[in-house]
Amino acid sequence: MADKIFISCATAQVQWVMNDLLPIFTAAGADVLGVSDYQANAGALEQIEAANMVIPVLSPEYIENATLQREMDVATDNAEILPILFTECDLPPSLSGAYAPELVDLRDLQNRAAWEQLMTLLKLNAGVHPLDWLAARDIIKDHFREGRSVYLHIRRKYVKWRELLQHLKADIFKDAAIIDLQSDAANSRSGFIELILQEADMPTVVPDPPNDLITLEQKLRLASTRHLMFRGGDRDACGDPAVWEVLHGMAQDGSDHVLLIQSREILSSWMRKDHPLLHPPLQVVELG
């Protein structure tokens, strides 16, 4: 795997790099030092000198930009080059001659073979095809923005689902809280409530039932957190049904709260038939 990657691109391609390329690289374990045109990256040349892999995203805008061509010159002297052809353009001699580096043709962004080629050359692995990882991200994003709660079913090992949740939280839904259902605290009703409120930045001494559920709802309505993502659910780590009833109810009442529950098991296999999360059922997103 390339230890340190720098992505060199024109302004016209920055959005694609930041939305798709950078998240999948990061999820697969790459250390991306920087993106040349992102937020006027004045330290680009220093980052290129520190990188051992530079990825130029080729387009007419890239080829015509003198600053980016300077980046290519520095990269050629300091690192391995892996060019991505994003848009049809005239390649510079350094990328088109007999000794030119292998090029990844992504003019069709849905070209699965080209994505596989890119990840293989970088020795990166997200556990699933990059387009499937990104598609799951986009489906979850659309459901969340429409106020629909999601069940994320991970169908096989080694899928980078933790990184997916972190990406959703860090880059898209910055108010989100991630709650670990495998935590010992989630095994009791009071501990589960305390854990949820702690991750929602509303730490609270939880009163005895039934006031504990009232406190949970009151505190969550006051919190800035509107996206609650629960990871690691299974038949041995399933939380308390009364707590889920409150959470699912809030997600249904127009309060802008939405839930995501992640598990490797089919939801109905570890919840009884009358469980609150099954009525109405969550939107299912499968990955793997």
Task: Please report which confidence band the pLDDT of residue 269 belongs to, taking 50, 70 and 90 as the band edges.
Answer: confident
State which residues form the domain around 135.
130-287
Contacts of 85 (CB under 8 A, 6+ apart): 58, 91, 103, 104, 105, 106, 107
- Let me know whether 179 and 36 are in one domain: no
pTM of this prediction? Answer: 0.94
- pLDDT (0 to 100) of residue 163: 98
* Cβ-contact 41, 8 below 8 angstroms: no
Residues 150, 88 share a domain: no
Going by C-alpha positions, the residue among 25, 38, 33, 9 that lies closest to residue 115 is 25
The reported pLDDT for the residue numbered 133 is: 98
Q: Who contacts 236 (Cβ-Cβ below 8 Å, separation ≥6)?
A: none
Spatial separation of the C-alpha atoms in residues 285 and 151, rounded to whole Å: 6
Domain boundary among 90, 122, 154: 122
- 69-86, pLDDT tens digit by residue? 888 888 888 899 999 999
pLDDT tens digits for 75-131? 888 899 999 999 999 998 888 877 889 999 999 999 999 999 999 999 999 999 999
pLDDT-based confidence at 36, cuts 50/70/90? confident
Give the per-residue pLDDT at 38.
Answer: 58
CB of 70 closer than 8 Å to CB of 37: no
* Residue 254, domain CATH: 3.40.50.300
Are 115 and 138 contained in the same domain?
Answer: no
Structure tokens at 183: 């935590």
Tokens of 95: 């990328």
Identify whether residues 262 and 166 lie together within a single domain.
yes
Total domain count, the chain: 2
